[in-house]
Every structure is written in C-alpha cells, then in structure tokens.
C-alpha cells in the first residue's frame, strides 16, 4: 500500500489514546486522503471526490482525457 501512517494523540476521559490513520496519495488529484475515503485499484488509490467526479464526467468533457491518462498510469505501474 502506498501512503503514510499518521499518528496522533487524542484526549479521552481518563487519559490520552494514540490514534493511527493510514493515508494514501490519490493518483488523480495527488492529495493525501484517509485510506477509507476512496478506492484501491491494483496498488493505486483514488479518493472518493475524484471517483465521483470521474463517474459524472461525460466523455465529451475536456477533463475526460486527463482521467483516462491517470487511469492508464495504474496499468503502467502494474506492468513496469
């Protein structure tokens, strides 16, 4: 899994608790997002925002070729 693990301390009644959250880089927007807020295809991560945007994008939209290019990167990385 590509990404990082964030550790934080959260105050709870009776003391502090360490909290871990896996973060992943979205292959589309490049932002670091929690791993449970998106989907994984092969070894790559697509955040929920980009997933929704891609699904709603018409093939005639100017953004469509960019999304196709980013999706191709998944297969290029897999076969490299």
pLDDT at 43: 86
pLDDT at 73: 86
Task: Decide: 58 and 48 in contact? Cβ < 8 Å.
Answer: no
Task: Decide: 26 and 47 in contact? Cβ < 8 Å.
Answer: yes
pLDDT at 60: 97
pLDDT in tens, 27-76: 999 999 998 999 999 889 999 999 999 999 999 999 999 999 999 988 87
Q: Where do the structural domains in the chain lie, given as residue ranges?
A: 4-79
Question: What pTM does this model have?
Answer: 0.70
pLDDT at 42: 86
């Amino acid at each position: 899994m590509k990404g990082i693990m964030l550790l934080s301390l959260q105050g709870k009644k009776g003391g502090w608790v360490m909290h871990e959250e896996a973060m992943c880089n979205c292959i589309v927007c490049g932002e670091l997002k929690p791993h449970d807020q998106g989907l994984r295809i092969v070894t790559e991560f697509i955040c929920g925002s980009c997933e929704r945007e891609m699904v709603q994008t018409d093939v005639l939209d100017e953004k469509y070729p960019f999304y196709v290019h980013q999706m191709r990167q998944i297969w290029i990385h897999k076969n490299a």
